[in-house]
Amino acid sequence: MGIEIDEEMIEKVARISRIRLAPDETKRLLNDFKEILSAFSMLDEAVPDCEPAFHPIEIKNYVREDEPETRIPPDEIIENMDTHQRFIKGPRMQ
């Protein structure tokens, strides 16, 4: 592994996390960190037998076939709305 975990690193992490550690806690955390990192290093050795996936189930885009159509003529829509020079008036923004 590229980074070596030592007591100085544990104290730096504690300072950044704004926690105070007793000397025995620093030593215990040092052992815990080393154990965690060794467990993760085993993942580096694993050989995947498939392509990496972001989702466990393949996701597909299902798009239905739509045909564009106008059911109501635009002139009829504009006739029944509050308009100004064929522009639709909306509510005033506050």
* pLDDT by position in tens, the chain (length 94): 467 888 999 999 999 999 999 989 999 999 998 998 888 888 878 787 777 767 777 778 888 888 888 788 888 888 888 777 878 777 888 7
pTM for the complete prediction? 0.44
65-85 b/e with 16+ CB inside 10 Å = b?
eeeeeeeeeeeeeeeeeeeee
Domain count, the chain: 1
Domain of residue 41 covers: 7-45
Q: Is residue 34 part of a domain?
A: yes
Q: Is residue 78 part of a domain?
A: no
At 36, which CATH number?
A: 1.10.20
Q: Is residue 21 part of a domain?
A: yes
